Amino acid sequence: MKNTTSKGSFMHTVGDAIERVGEIVTKMGAAKLGTKIYNFGNKVEHSRE
């Protein structure tokens, strides 16, 4: 049986980090790019659900 818990946890951590980068980019003034990065992070974070 595969252990998907650790991989899911890893994906969640990576997704959170990408979302934070998107928030920083948005605050720096590049709203469209920041939103795209944030949305990508959200997809990564929830890809195992």
DSSP assignment of 4-48 equals: HHHHHHHHHHHHHHHHHHHHHHHHTT-HHHHHHHHHHHHHHHTTT
Whether 43 has a pLDDT exceeding 90, the answer reads: yes
Structure-model confidence comparison of residues 22 and 7, the more confident one: 22
pLDDT of residue 41: 95
**Structure-token match 């974070």, residue found:** 45
Q: Model pTM?
A: 0.77
pLDDT band at 3 (very low <50, low <70, confident <90, very high): very low
